[in-house]
Each structure stands twice: as structure tokens, then as C-alpha cells.
Structure 1
Amino acid sequence: MWTVPKPKYRRGSCDEGEIAVNIGGVRVELFGDVLNRYPESRLAELLNCSTQDHEVISSLCDDFDPDRKEFYFDRDPDAFKCIIDVYYFDEIHIKPGICPICFIKEMEFWKIDASVLDECCKSYLSEKEEELTEIANKVKAILEDLEVDQCITRTQRCQRFLWRLMEKPGSSLSARVIAIASFLSVLVSAVVMCVGTIPELQVTDAEGKLKEHPILEAIDTACMVWFTAEYLLRLASSPNKLHFALSFMNVIDFLAIMPFYVVLSLTYLGTTSMMELTNVQQAVQALRIMRIARIFKLARHSSGLQTLTYALKTSLKELGLLLMYMGIGIFVFSALAYTMEQSHPETLFRSIPQSFWWAIITMTTVGYGDIYPKTTLGKCNAAVSFLCGVIAIALPIHPIINNFVVFYNKQKVLETAAKHELELMELKSGRDVRRKSRN
């Protein structure tokens, strides 16, 4: 069996056709025929260049011992142990503990093409590059918020100040107060919407119908005025108004505000006899239900809810598998239940579509009991269905939870890295200032 000769880690002079390199104090002897497999690499160039051409050698290494034919490099020896794998195995793996970005720079130094990286390491490298890009974007956003451009007009300066005030809670104390006030307004509005449906707290109008208490209506109106002012100020100060208006969270804000003014318009039209009062009341009732969209405004003030949203987006495949498992189970067990229960005179399973409801609440282990089997075979089918339901739900849950944890930890790491990057930039700027003052 043919074996690939390994690099030799020892001291002494080299034999003919060998080359010795000293990487950060670690001496390695390499075979010339192995290095010539990549003739354009730095080591192959050193092997083939003349020992008398000191200028070329100096451009390729940090130092050179002509007697021992040993080349010295002030590089990372751990990274070099990965680099020499390409000469023996035609591929490179990044070992744990080595920064992939620094390793790519090492490959560029040794003149090894990045295409020899194994696929697993390429994906790992792409992830790290994406993280660095996100960190750079976060740092850029923070610097844009902090910088004060003296050349801009007063209107632009006011617009930037208002944007930081409404969108950047961490930029100042007043911005943090506004964010807290907006968060509390959402909670108060949601509580008022729920409490207003309690019959004991409602009042009777002139027609003898129950309606929301005037005090609760006043609180809800105040919250809506705050939401409207907040939305308009954010829209007015937005650098890109079209992107702002089409943003998902801002669409939710608009949907939470719009029903209030539509109800006012319909009420006014109904009182002026331009529309039938019955139609107005039905439209008002339908639009008031849309007030539940206000609760989604909490996502704009909660990083945890935003993380959950992004984690669910990355788990669409697992969620699709869950729905597919449940869909197949519901169809199979509802059809079996309908067939098995037909022999009972008091069967509750009138059709297979009607049996879907029983299959759903059984497989999800809710079990309301409004529809249940009465035959022995039907009960056995029900037992198997809820066991399969538990298994079908449990299988995709772990990947979804893992995606949430990974994304949450990644966001924490990115935020910390961005803060450290800013601290390093401040230290560097401070050093530059002190140097200029000394000079």
C-alpha cells in the first residue's frame, strides 16, 4: 500500500531535494516533489529558486540560513499545519480554534488558492463572513447615529434628531422615555380593549344597547392619538419614506391605527343619514375587531419577539414538515374514524370532513369531547391517533428550538462584537490624538 510521506519535524540539515522551513519556532522539513505539486505556491518558489539570489529569497521569507537551507517565517505554526495538508491531500480543513478569516489571509500569504478548502470549511467561512458583514453594518449604523455633520442644513439636522428620538431608544434618555411610553400605550390599549367587553363595565345607550364605557373610550382615544402622532413623526423623519411605509412592522402599525378613523368616518356618515344605520353598525363592529392588531406593535419594542420571528422564518422547513405530518395524520385517522363509527346508531361522525375536527383536537391532545368514538375499534383508532400526534409534534420541535437558540446567541455575540469594535475605534482615535499632540 502506497503511503504519502509526512513532513518531518526535526533538527539538522536537509537532504537533497528537501526544504526546511521554520514557522514561529517550529522547524519542518518538506519533500521537494511534494511541494512541486503546487508550483505557484510560496514554498515551491523557495524550493526552486537559487540560494544565491538573496533578493528573491528575501521577498519570499523573513530570513534565510544558506548553510542549513532553512527559511524562517514569522507566521502562525498551527495554521501552517493545516496549510501543508494541501500538498499531501489536495484539500485543506480549518482546525477548531483558528479564525477562518485569519486563515484565509494565511492561505493568501502561502499563495494557496481558496478553492482547495473543503466544502464544510467553505460554508463555515461564509457564515463568518456574513457575521463580519452584520457587525460592520451594526457599527456603521451606530456611527451614523453618533456623527454630527456640520454641513447639513437645519432641516436635515432636525430630521436626523427626530429619527434618532423615535427609532433609536439607546441614543438618548428622551428617546428611551418615548420608547417606554409607546410600549406602555400598547399595553394600556390592549387592556382597555379587553376590559371594555365586560358587561358589568358597559353602559346602556338611548336604544337600550350595551356599549363601551365613556372613560374607557376616552383612554382608547388617547392611545390612538399617541399612536397616530408617533407614526406620523416616524414617517416624517424617515430617510426613505417608501421603504418605511412598506416595512412589515410599519404596516402593522398602520393597520392598528386605521380602523379607529374608519369607525369615526362611518359613524359620522351614519349620523348624517348618508348610510343605513344597520350597515354602519355592522361595519363598525367588524373594524373594531381589527384593534387586536395593536398587540403586534409590541414586537417593535421587544428584541425577544423579533428574535422569535426571525427564528420562525429560518424554521419554515421544519414547520412545513410538522404541518405535513399533521395533515396526513388528520386525513388518515378521520377517514378511519368515520368508517369504524358507521356501525353505531348514535354515531357523531356524519362525514369525513366533519371528522377532521375530531382528528385535529385528538392529535394535538386537546380533546374537547364534543365529538368522540363510541365503538371499540373507534376508541383504538383514537388511541393510536393521539400517540401519533404526540410523536408528529415532538419530532420537528427540537430543530425549531435549536434555531431560536442559535439565532438568539448569534445576535448577542454580534451586539457584543459591535460594542467592542466601537471601543477599539475609540481607543485608536485617542491614541492618534495623543500622537498628534506630542508631535
Structure 2
Amino acid sequence: MEPGLASEPTRSMDASAEQSLPEPGSQDSVAGDDIEIVVNVGGVRQVLYGDLLSQYPETRLAELINCLAGGYDTIFSLCDDYDPGKREFYFDRDPDAFKCVIEVYYFGEVHMKKGICPICFKNEMDFWKVDLKFLDDCCKSHLSEKREELEEIARRVQLILDDLGVDAAEGRWRRCQKCVWKFLEKPESSCPARVVAVLSFLLILVSSVVMCMGTIPELQVVDSEGNRVEHPTLENVETACIGWFTLEYLLRLFSSPNKLHFALSFMNIVDVLAILPFYVSLTLTHLGARMMELTNVQQAVQALRIMRIARIFKLARHSSGLQTLTYALKRSFKELGLLLMYLAVGIFVFSALGYTMEQSHPETLFKSIPQSFWWAIITMTTVGYGDIYPKTTLGKLNAAISFLCGVIAIALPIHPIINNFVRYYNKQRVLETAAKHELELMELNSSSAESKPGGSRSDLDTLPPEPAAREGPSWGSRLKLSHSDTFIPLLTEEKHHRTRLQSCK
């Protein structure tokens, strides 16, 4: 049992040494370091002492020491209820969170218990007036992560609300832009939008297949100058696909709310790289021959046609799996860096050893250490083309060791990368579900509010009415219904929707 903390007041002291709380407003209502404070938080009774609480006088519990001198008005400004007979303060708060918060008086820091929502715990710390600087760094990371999730949910809900809402002040041109943007960027908004998204996906596949088939000699034709070129049918198919990609890009650029952000987005840069080579090649073919030699034009066109492989990355726009994989690789830069470092060290060591051990053989294939790098790379990555191989016993032993080390080095970062992939994928599903849940709660709250004047009254109707002079919802009175609930403040600035984030639990 920790000193100063007990479920029941079990510490026995002399009457002269122990000072209990006097009556509110009496002349004996003075502060003392040995005063006994009895609090009841969510049904759990705690006994604290003035010398312990006075370490942090700005906290709510420390203010209880001097609150009796101000009478009942001061008392009820700090707690929910007070029993003069038992001289006990009552708080309708989370007892589990309170047990974590009072650690600051004993250890000077606060640790958040596992299973408590970080946002709810922050609200508890704010209520008890304990500064967040006392929260341990490991717990602050969980709080920051939960804040990011709330911001992401708020952003998704706000986007959905913007799509559903119609602003009468907007002009026809602006409404047209929003409709086009919603039609092209959000396939789930309507059935025609989904059809267009599927058609765009199929055209990406068709254009990629046509690009590959154009390199088959049997499908090529000979032009007037004796050069083999793509079949005209394949060129027509590619032209149609490029026309669709160009129209799609221009419409999305036209309807984008932020043109600069749209142009600098990675996926939109990929779109430009996918369609730009076609027009540059077309320009060089028809106009470049007048300004440069025909051979140089053909070489430039061939180089640009290779850039058409960028259109395969357009599939990431329509595939959440590819987007998740990209995010997992971005979050795994540290693990990938370790992999490259291990391989680089192993390649240098084993190539030098292989070169040294193979010099005694008259028909050695290891002519130099830089040439041995190629052998070490294909050996450690378990490829093994067989163009360079050891012939001595020591060289073969060195090759076996390098092979095993390569397998271990490559397998090490696989687990963190897979974990990042699964974590991000599950997080996206949770955020999507939470956003839908928020919308359902908002719709339920709005429908219940509309049914109050003429329908049956619920238990919430017994609450005191909101002040008429105050605009917008009163968050303080509504949140007092449940201290464990949270709301998304980002949605309260303009839309004034109250939400309860049950998913954070």
C-alpha cells in the first residue's frame, strides 16, 4: 500500500496530529499540510493528504484544500457533489484514469494505463488540471497517434459533408466543378462514376498490353524506309487510350479545388509522364525532321517511348493495395536502409575474399575485386547466373557462407515491412468505418432533434434548455452526459455537428 493512498482511511493517528476537514464557511476552514482529503471518483473512495497535494497547488485536488473557506459555491465549482456528513468530495469521472493521474503526486510523472483511450485520458488530465508535460514520452506518442487518427476521421467526414451539402451562395460554375470532381475522384459516389473508374482501369491495362505487343517482331510492319514500326492498329488503340487519359487529366485539373496542389501531387505527375511522351514523340516526328537529322529524331522518339512504362503506375490510383504497399515502403526506409547496408558490407567482404582465394587457380574467373562485386551480388541475392563461379575449395566455401549470409540479411527486414503494411491497411479500414459511424451518429442526432417538438420526449429532454443568446451547440453541457466520450473539434468550427467518437475506445 502506497503512503497517503488507500481504498479506506486505515491510517490511525492521534487526534492532535490528524486534522480533518472543517465545516464549509466556518472560521476553522483553514489550509494545512496535514489535512485529510477524501474523494470518491466513480464509486472508488480515495484518501489523500494535504502535504502530498500541495506539491502541485495548481491542480484541482490541491484546490480542494482551500475550497471550504469559500462555502458551497466554491466546492461545487470543483466537484460534482459533496457530503458534509462524511466530508467527502464526489467526482463523476473515470476511476481508472484517476488512478493514473494521481501518480504525479507520488512519482512526478503520469503513465497511461493500457486500454484507456488517449484522447479520453487527455480530457481527464485537463479536468484534474494536470499539465501534459508530466505525461511520459511513451504515452505522448500514443496521444499524438490518436490525434492524427481523429484529424483524419474529421477530414474524411468533412469531405463527405461537403459532397452532400449544397451551398446556395455558390454559382453554377462552382457547382459544376464540384460535380465533375466528385464524378472523377470518388467512384463510390454514384454508379456512373464507378463505371468510369472501371473503364479507366481497363484502358490502363489495354495501353500497357499494347505497348508490350508493339515490340513483337511478328506484329510489326516495315515502313517506306525499311524500318520496323508498330502495327497501325496498335497505334490507333494507343492513340485512343492516350486521348482518354488526356481528357481525364484535363477534366480533373479543371475541377480541382487547388490547382497547384493537384499539379504537384505524385499521382498526377505520374499521369503527366504517362501521356507526355506521346505528344512529344508526335511533335518530333512531324516537326523535328526539319530541325535535326532523321536518325537523331528516331533515337529521341525511341527514348521517349520507353517512358510509356510510367502509365502502369496509374493503376495505383484505382488500387488501395498498391497505395498501402507504397505507404509501407515509405514507413520502412530504416529497415530498407539496414538491408542495403548489410548487403553492401557483405558484397565488399565476400568479393574481396573470393578474389583472393581464386588467384591460385590458373583458370580463375575473378579478374579483379570490382568484377567480383557482380558475383557477390548475384550470390547473396540467391540469383546465381553461373557466368562467374569459384573453382577452388576455399572459394566454394566462401560462396556457401556468402549465400547463407545473404538469405539472413534479406529476411531480416521482411517482418517489419509486412507489419507496416498490415497496420496501415487495418488502420485505413478502421478510419473508414469510424467516418461512416460518425455520419450515422450525426444523422441520428439530427433526426432525434427534429422529432423533439412534436414527438415523444426522451431522457435527454430533461436537460436544461440551452441559452437562447448563444449561437451554436453548447459543448460543455452535452459532454457532461458522459466524460468518456470525445468529439471532433475540427468539425465544430463551421458545420457545428456534435459527434461522439466511440471508435476510439
Per the shorter chain, which TM-score range?
over 0.9
- Correspondence 1:166 to 2:194: no
Match of residue 279, structure 2, among 240, 245, 261: 261
> Are positions 1:102 and 2:120 aligned together?
yes
Which is further off, 4-13 or 392-401? Answer: 4-13
**2:3 corresponds to which residue?**
5
Q: Deviation at 1:213?
A: 2.0
Give the letter for the 1:5 counterpart.
P
Deviates more, 1:196-205 or 1:226-235: 196-205
State how far apart, in whole Å, the 1-side matches of 2:422 and 2:362 are: 52
SS at match of 1:318: helix
Distance 1:436 1:151 in 2: 30
Aligned partner letter, 2:6:
K
Alignment of 1:323 onto 2:337: no
Q: What's the counterpart of residue 370 of structure 1?
A: 387
The question of 1:44 aligning with 2:62 is answered: yes
In the superposition, relative to structure 1, how do residues 50 and 433 fare at CA in structure 2: closer, same or farther (>3 Å)?
closer
1:436/1:185 Cα in 2 relative to 1: closer, same or farther (>3 Å)? farther
Query: What secondary structure is seen at the aligned counterpart in 2 of 1:47?
Result: coil
- Give the conservation status (yes or no) of the 8 Å contact 1:38–1:87: yes
Look up the match of 2:139.
121
Is residue 310 from structure 1 mapped to residue 327 from structure 2 by the alignment? yes
SS at match of 1:189: helix
- Give distance in 1, aligned partners of 2:210 and 2:44: 73
Native 8 Å contact 1:51 1:66 kept in 2: no
Distance 1:379 1:50, change over 3 A: same
Contact persistence 1:322–1:393 (CA under 8 A): yes
Displacement of 1:95 after TM fit? 0.9
Task: Find the aligned partners of 1:11 and 1:404 in 2 and give their Cα distance.
Answer: 52
Structure 2 letter corresponding to 1:91: E
Query: What corresponds to 1:392 in structure 2?
Result: 409
Aligned equivalent of 1:188, options 206, 216, 222: 206
Q: Do the aligned partners of residues 278 and 53 (structure 1) sit closer, same or farther apart at CA in structure 2, a change above 3 Å counting?
A: same
1:293 to 310, 316, 320: 310
Q: Which amino acid aligns with 2:425?
A: Y
Q: Which amino acid aligns with 1:366?
A: V
Distance 1:52-1:209 versus aligned 2 partners, 3 A rule: closer
* Aligned-residue offset at 1:11: 7.2
Equivalent residues in 2 for 1:11-50, closer than 5 Å: 16=19, 17-50=35-68
TM-score normalised per structure 1: 0.94
Q: 2:364 aligns with which of 322, 347, 350?
A: 347
8 Å CA contact 1:11–1:27 kept in 2: the answer is no
Aligned pairs for 1:206-245 within 5 A = 206-245=224-263
What SS class does the counterpart of residue 350 from structure 1 fall into? coil
Checking the alignment, whether the CA contact within 8 Å between 1:21 and 1:72 is kept in structure 2 is yes
Aligned counterparts of 2:60 and 2:215: Cα–Cα separation in 1: 78
Shift of 1:273: 4.7
Q: In the TM superposition, what are the counterparts of 1:198-209 in structure 2 within 5 Å? A: 198-209=216-227
Change (3 A) 1:436 1:306: farther
Partner in structure 2 of residue 332 of structure 1: 349
Greater displacement, 410-419 / 24-33: 24-33
Give the fraction of aligned pairs with identical amino acids, expressed as a percent: 71
Q: CA contact under 8 A between 2:4 and 2:52: conserved in structure 1?
A: no
Answer whether contact 2:355 2:367 (CA < 8 A) is retained. Answer: yes
SS across alignment from 2:89? strand
C-alpha distance in 2 between matches for 1:91 and 1:274: 75
The corresponding residue for 2:502 is: none
Residues in 2 aligned to 1:245 and 1:387: alpha-carbon distance in whole angstroms: 47
- Count of residues paired in the alignment: 436
Name the SS of the counterpart of 1:50 in structure 2: helix
Cα distance between partner residues in 2 of 1:52 and 1:39: 17
Change (3 A) 1:40 1:274: closer
Alignment partners' CA distance in 1, 2:37 and 2:280: 83
One-letter code aligned to 1:97: G
What is the CA-CA distance between 1:322 and the residue it aligns to?
0.8
Measure the CA separation in 2 of the matches of 1:114 and 1:251: 42
Give per-residue Cα distances to partners, 1:366-422, cap 9 Å, x unaligned. 101011111111111111111111111112221122122212211111111111111
Given that 1:269 and 1:275 are in contact with CA atoms closer than 8 Å, whether structure 2 keeps it comes out as no
Residue 65 (structure 1) aligns with: 83
Q: Secondary structure at the match of 1:342?
A: helix
Q: Which amino acid aligns with 1:175?
A: A
Deviation at 1:158, TM superposition (A): 1.0
Native 8 Å contact 2:267 2:317 kept in 1 = yes
CA contact (8 A) 2:271 2:314 kept: yes
Contact 2:4 2:47 in 1 (8 A): no
Q: Deviations over 1:198-247 (max 9, x none)?
A: 22223333344432222222111111111111111111111222221121
| In structure 2, C-alpha distance between the alignment counterparts of 1:382 and 1:82, rounded to whole Å | 57
RMSD between aligned alpha carbons?
2.1
The residue that corresponds to 1:250 in the other structure is 268
Deviation at 1:437, TM superposition (A): 5.8
Q: Is the 8 A contact 2:324 2:421 kept in 1?
A: yes
Report how far residue 324 of structure 1 moved. Answer: 0.9
C-alpha separation in 1, matches of 2:303 and 2:76: 81
Q: How does 1:420-435 map to 2 (within 5 A)?
A: 420-435=437-452
Distance 1:295 1:375, change over 3 A: same
Gaps of 5+ in 2: 13-17, 20-34, 458-505
The aligned amino acid for 2:279 is Y
The answer to whether the 8 Å contact 1:13/1:69 transfers is no
Please say which of residues 161-170 and 3-12 is displaced more in the overlay.
3-12
What secondary structure does 2:413 align onto?
helix
**How far did residue 36 of structure 1 move?**
2.0
> Can you give the 5+ residue segments of structure 1 that lack an aligned partner in the other structure?
none
Distance, in Å, in 1 between the alignment partners of 2:106 and 2:66 is 19
